[in-house]
Structure 1
Amino acid sequence: MEAIKAADFNPKFRDEVAELLKGYDFSNCLACGMCTAGCPYSDIHENQDPRKFLRKVLLGMKDEVYADPYIWYCTMCERCTIECPMNVNIAALVRSLRGTWDKDKIPGYLQTIANEHIESGNQMNVGQVDYEETLEWIEEELQEELGDPNYKIPLNKKGAKYFYGFNARDIKYYPNELQTTLKLFYVAGIDYTISTKRWDATNIALFTGQTDDFLAISMPLWQEVADLECEELIVTECGHAFRSMRWGYRTYWKGKQYPIRHILELLNELVKEGKIKLDPDAITEVVTYHDPCNTARKEGVYEAPRELMRSFLKNFVDMNPHGKMNYCCGAGGGGMAMPEYNDIRKAKGKRKVDQVLATGAEIVIVPCHNCMDQFNDLNKWYPEKAKSPNVHMCSLMERALIMPEKE
């Protein structure tokens, strides 16, 4: 091991980091190693030790900190933080340090996504004409499927109870997913709207730490909810979209106040109220559920999805651990958008594959677009996992949906 020289320490670096981390205290570290013990991937590949990384920061080893691959290997899942007796938030530290990076040196195509989102209003760079034509296509499909020629997607409806924010993948790649969700909304008869102005709830700058980009991306959507005078913002099955909307709202939004909820919280409520009826005999397969870190650990949404699942699934089996203690799928922190680290992402994913296999699941509910991409890659990388297909919760609910009789 190379000797560490005190003369190389930069005592001012701690002050620089403290200035970045206003509201977070990282100096209480006991060097106990609980963070490393809590990280599910500290023993999977090199340079994945939160304790060592934090010690470099505290000792003022600035050059070593910025040269450490940990900054970009870390999935920012906060599994280490809940194990820390001093509640040191390593994810917040990593994000803050990433935010000091020159934008043209950020790995992968993270910054490209941010730039395109700022320019086009969505992370998939979908043009306005394509967006509106896709909504028209979905509307026509639903008119036929529902047997209701008068069905219309409520666009830009002022004063609607719910504003629905979703993922641009639902327009560019998976319009059937959006169609399924809107079908559930139709059956429930809820008062909602979709904007043709701002609709993508995702924000890749959650991972890059670039605050100017983060605000340029999310602020217009929060403003659109306020301008349409909606009572509540509902965010789709996307962990980082939900985290971006709710954490960013708490941190930066100063306008009209309104609650922000995950769609699974709303759907559970609608099922309990009897507005959506599900056949408990429709799905007989063994089903397990993946807790996205941004939804479960960071925003505390893990009980409502389970209450919802138990209302219509005969054979639900939880992973171990799950809920707040879940393991990251391995693609968090922007990992999906950094192809140069695919080998790292694949190695981390094996731990999640082992979790799934231990449940004996035939279906895996993955309520997050980012996690879904990782799980689909895991099916390609690990043939044993391919036996259990991945679905969003809304898609599984559609299989069990009891359509109301027409009057």
Structure 2
Amino acid sequence: MEAIKAAELNPKFRDEVAGLLKNYDFTNCLACGMCTAGCPYSDIHENQDPRKFLRKVLLGMKEEVFSDPYIWYCTMCERCTIECPMNVNIAALVRSLRGTWDKDKIPGYLQTIAEEHKESGNQMNVDQVDYEETLEWIEEELQEELGDPNYKIPLNKEGAQYFYGFNARDIKYYPNELQTTLKIFYAAGIDYTISTKRWDATNIALFTGQNDDFVEISKPVWEEFVRLGCKEFIVTECGHAFRSMRWGYRTFWDGKEFPIRHILELLNDLVKEGKLKLDPDAITEVVTYHDPCNTARKEGVWEAPRELIRSFVKNFVDMNPNGRMNYCCGAGGGGMAMPEFNDIRKAKGKRKVDQVVATGAEIVIVPCHNCIDQFNDLNKWYEEKAKSKNMHMCTLMERALIMPEKEEA
């Protein structure tokens, strides 16, 4: 181990970081190592030790901090924080430090996504014509599937109960996923709307730490919700989108107050209220559930999804650990958008593969677009993982969905 020279330490660096964190006190670290013990990846690859990284910050080793790959290797999953006896939030520290980087030096294509989102209004850079044509295509498909030629996607409906914000991947790559969700909304008969102006709930600046980008991306979505006068903001199956909307709302929004809820919480309530009916005999496979860090650990949503699963899945086997204690899939913190670190992402993913294999699951419910891309990569990288199929909750629910009987004219 190299000697640390006191003359090279920057005693002001700790105050600089405290200023970035709005004077949040991260200095009460005991150096006990519980954060490193709690990190699922501290023994998977090099430069993944939260305790060492935090000590560098506290000692004023500014140059070493910004040259440490940990700053981008960290998935910001916060599992280290729940193990910390002093509740030091290392993920918040990492995000704040990332936010000091020059935007043209941010790794991968994280900043490219942010710039395109600011320009087009969505992270996939889908232009308005393609967006509206995709919605028209989904509408036509649903008219045929539902046997209802009068079916219309409720666009820009003022005063709707629910405003639905989703992931741009559902337009560019997975329109069938959006179609499935809207079919479930139809079966439940809920009052909702989709905006043609602002609809993408994701925000890549959640990972880059660039707060000016974050506000520019998310504020128009909150403003659109208020403009339409909806009652509740419902976010799709995407931990990144859900966290962006909820954390960003708490941190940056100073307008009219409104509730933001995850779609799985809504669907669970609809089942309990009898508005959605699911066949308990339709799913025969062994099923497990992945907790996205941004949904479960950071925003506290892990019980409602399991209640929903048990309402229609007979053979549900939970991962160990699960819920608040579950492991990150390995692609968090913007990992999917930094291909130069794919070997690190693959190594991290082995921990999740072992979790899944231990359940014997044939189906893994992955309620997050970012996570499901990682899970699909894990199926390619690890033969043992390829035996299980990954899908969103709504996709599995569709297999068990009992459509309401049509009223006779």
- Compute the TM-score of the two structures, normalised by the length of structure 2: 0.99
Give the CA deviation at 1:236: 0.1
Q: Which residue of 1 aligns with 2:204?
A: 204
State the AA in 2 paired with 1:170.
Answer: D
State the AA in 2 paired with 1:162.
Answer: Y
State the AA in 2 paired with 1:199.
Answer: W
**Partner SS state of residue 19, structure 1:** helix
1:312-331 superposed matches below 5 A: 312-331=312-331
Q: Give the conservation status (yes or no) of the 8 Å contact 1:24–1:89.
A: no
Q: Which residue of 2 aligns with 1:372?
A: 372
1:390-405 superposed matches below 5 A: 390-405=390-405
Query: Identity of aligned pairs, percent?
Result: 89
Q: 1:307-343 CA deviation, whole Å, 9 max, x = no partner?
A: 0000000000000000000000000000000000000
Q: Which residue of 1 aligns with 2:298?
A: 298
Q: Which residue of 2 aligns with 1:173?
A: 173
Give the whole-Å Cα distance in 1 for the aligned partners of 2:75 and 2:101: 17
Q: What value does the CA root-mean-square deviation take over the aligned residues?
A: 0.5
Give the whole-Å Cα distance in 2 for the aligned partners of 1:309 and 1:331: 24
Q: 1:111-144 CA deviation, whole Å, 9 max, x = no partner?
A: 0000000000000000000000000000000000
1:90-101 superposed matches below 5 A: 90-101=90-101
Give the whole-Å Cα distance in 2 for the aligned partners of 1:209 and 1:162: 29
**Partner SS state of residue 16, structure 2:** helix
Q: 1:134-184 CA deviation, whole Å, 9 max, x = no partner?
A: 000000000000000000000000000000000000000000000000000
The more displaced of 22-31 and 262-271 is: 22-31
Q: Which residue of 1 aligns with 2:161?
A: 161
1:1-400 superposed matches below 5 A: 1-22=1-22, 24-400=24-400
- Compute the TM-score of the two structures, normalised by the length of structure 1: 1.00
State the AA in 2 paired with 1:369.
Answer: H
Give the whole-Å Cα distance in 2 for the aligned partners of 1:24 and 1:10: 19
Give the whole-Å Cα distance in 2 for the aligned partners of 1:402 and 1:154: 22
State the AA in 2 paired with 1:317.
Answer: V
Give the whole-Å Cα distance in 2 for the aligned partners of 1:88 and 1:262: 27
Give the CA deviation at 1:256: 1.0
Give the whole-Å Cα distance in 1 for the aligned partners of 2:48 and 2:25: 22
Count of residue correspondences: 407
State the AA in 2 paired with 1:36.
Answer: T
- Which ranges in structure 1 are unaligned for 5 or more consecutive residues? none
State the AA in 2 paired with 1:326.
Answer: N
Give the whole-Å Cα distance in 2 for the aligned partners of 1:271 and 1:22: 42
State the AA in 2 paired with 1:15.
Answer: D
Give the whole-Å Cα distance in 2 for the aligned partners of 1:389 and 1:395: 12
Q: 1:51-89 CA deviation, whole Å, 9 max, x = no partner?
A: 000000000000000000000000000000000000000
- Which ranges in structure 2 are unaligned for 5 or more consecutive residues? none
**Partner SS state of residue 278, structure 2:** coil
Structure 1 stretches of at least 4 aligned residues deviating more than 2 Å after TM superposition: none
Give the CA deviation at 1:2: 1.3
Give the whole-Å Cα distance in 2 for the aligned partners of 1:80 and 1:381: 27
**Partner SS state of residue 315, structure 1:** coil
Give the CA deviation at 1:48: 0.1
State the AA in 1 paired with 2:51.
Answer: R
Give the CA deviation at 1:23: 5.2
Give the whole-Å Cα distance in 1 for the aligned partners of 2:55 and 2:256: 42
Give the CA deviation at 1:24: 2.4
Q: Give the conservation status (yes or no) of the 8 Å contact 1:12–1:60.
A: yes
Give the whole-Å Cα distance in 2 for the aligned partners of 1:33 and 1:224: 45
